[in-house]
Amino acid sequence: MSLLKVKDGTEIYYKDWGTGQPVVFSHGWPLDADAWDSQMNFLGRQGLRVIAHDRRGHGRSGQSWEGNEMDTYADDLAELFEALDLRDAIMVGHSTGGGEVARYIGRHGTSRVAKAVLIGAVPPIMLKTDANPDGLPIEVFDQIREGVTTNRSQFFKDLAVPFYGYNRDNAAVSQGMIDSFWAIGMLGSIKGELDCIKAFSETDFTADLQRFDVPTLILHGDDDQIVPIGASALKTVEQVPGAVLKIIPGAPHGMCTTLADEINRYLLDFIRQ
């Protein structure tokens, strides 16, 4: 296992495969780097260096009691960039990982970054507030917290269904993928996962998005049941200068898995531009 000990002593697990221009992936909640298997396998075979880490409190990384919030997530990622001396990198973030990418750029800039991709990402802010009336009410996130607290195992099995759009007519349901989602979710720290709910739902990334100064691609499914497109991508594209939004018709939140070939083509085309 490749482990990086960051400044507070937490160990961050990461994969680092291949050679060439680095593509750095940040995963969604409650998953880990394995959520990027399809993309890493494909892009690695195209001659790119592919890197993904397990966010603290998730997967095989350390389960710190503190630091389960966006500033620390971004700083952990910055330490990984420095330890591996990554330059001219393409950053790719899905869901919560999209927030991590945004906060990284907001805090650390783009001196090591060539391009950014946000996929089904949570920015600008998911929570409904007076300033963000199109967001989701706090009760939605309280229900997630309750599900994780009272029966995390069953909650993850249930959540996988809308996550991958398996509750839609004619969906090709994969029991294996549901089981994988459950297994990865259960590997993480319940404390870290609970803290992360607040991080992905209540963090306002507006100022971070306005610091983007690299080519940016936004991919979002118009049938995303987890991060609705109206409260996220449609607003983000207005905040990031020059960003390009590609709406994937009928795609669910977990489209990097269910529509891997299509997403991989978008990524490779964007990287090669």
- What SS3 string covers 61-94? CCCCCCCCCHHHHHHHHHHHHHHCCCCCEEEEEE
Does the annotation mark 58 as catalytic? no
Strand partners, 113: 89
Is 224 a known active-site residue? yes
Q: Which is catalytic among the residues 26, 64, 95, 201?
A: 95
Determine whether 261 is exposed, middle or buried from the number of CB atoms within 10 Å of its CB (0-12, 13-18, 19+). exposed
Catalytic choice (27, 53, 94, 253): 253
In this structure, how many other beta carbons lie within 10 angstroms of the beta carbon of residue 107? 15
3-state SS of 220-247 is EECCCCCCCHHHCHHHHHHHCCCCEEEE
Residue 11, token pair as written in the block: 């160990």
Strands of 216-221's sheet, edge to edge? 2-5, 11-17, 49-53, 22-26, 89-94, 113-119, 216-221, 244-248
Rounded to 5°, angle at Cα 108 from 102 and 113:
75
Q: Is 54 a catalytic residue?
A: no
Which of 32, 75, 195, 224 is catalytic? The answer is: 224
The dihedral over CA atoms of 41, 46, 47, 48, expressed in degrees to the nearest 10, equals -60
**Bridge partners of 220?**
247
What value, to the nearest 5°, has the Cα angle with vertex 88 and ends 263 and 54?
60
What angle in degrees, to the nearest 10, is found between the helix axes of 37-44 and 260-272?
A: 50
Quick one: which of 268, 229, 265 has its CA closest to 249?
229
Catalytically annotated residues: 95, 224, 253
